[in-house]
């Protein structure tokens, strides 16, 4: 079976250009996760590479299927120069390793929490997993493998995360849209939730 990571990296490069930095993190008992940084104008994008090497499996399954199951990588986009966002590398790698470590399936609409600021001074400790396909198209793989989906992560403040738990992901995204929230602003405050 072909290694999917070179194909994933090629898809990221075709969509986002050449990475200008990369870092690798390895957690005990997991595969290595790399985070690639892409800069385009005043936008910096961080994309994981390694999460899709294994399919995510249902945490209630007795045995994880080594072939079938959803595959994904994570992408965060922020405005450059407003915060030390390069420190997002470790929290992003932690989130990418969560399917292997915690047996979770990361899917659109989910909330992921790292329990600490995503970067120094950030008011965000969690992210909302958004719908894929806008920035980086899904990568189709040979049968029986599922395609790799590139899931955008939208940073959430603790208040937004709590509001989302009650009202749902769609309602929070609607609130952001209504208020013209710049989700790429690494120093933004919580959207009004009254």
Q: What is the pLDDT of residues 107-131, one digit of tens each?
A: 999 999 999 999 999 999 999 999 9
Mean pLDDT of 4-19: 96
Q: 63 pLDDT exceeds 80?
A: no
The C-alpha atoms of residue 156 and residue 167 are separated, in whole angstroms, by: 14
pLDDT band at residue 62 using 50, 70 and 90 as cut-offs = low
What is the pTM (predicted TM-score) of this model?
0.93
């Amino acid at each position: 079976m072909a290694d999917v990571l070179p194909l994933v990296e090629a898809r990221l490069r075709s969509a986002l250009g050449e990475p200008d930095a990369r870092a690798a993190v390895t957690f005990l008992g997991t595969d290595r996760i790399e985070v690639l940084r892409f800069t385009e104008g005043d936008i910096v994008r961080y994309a994981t590479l390694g999460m899709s090497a294994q399919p995510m499996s249902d945490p209630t399954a007795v045995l994880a299927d080594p072939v079938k199951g959803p595959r994904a990588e994570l992408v965060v986009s922020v405005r450059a120069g407003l915060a030390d966002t390069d420190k997002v590398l470790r929290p992003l790698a932690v989130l990418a390793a969560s399917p292997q470590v915690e047996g979770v399936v990361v899917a659109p609409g989910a909330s992921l929490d790292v329990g600490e600021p995503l970067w120094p001074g950030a008011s965000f400790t969690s992210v909302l997993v958004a719908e894929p396909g806008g920035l980086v198209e899904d990568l189709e793989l040979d049968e029986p493998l599922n395609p790799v989906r590139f899931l955008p992560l939208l940073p959430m403040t603790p208040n937004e995360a709590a509001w989302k738990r009650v009202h749902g992901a769609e309602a929070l995204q609607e609130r952001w849209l209504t208020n013209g929230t710049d989700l790429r602003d690494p120093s933004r405050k919580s959207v009004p939730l009254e």
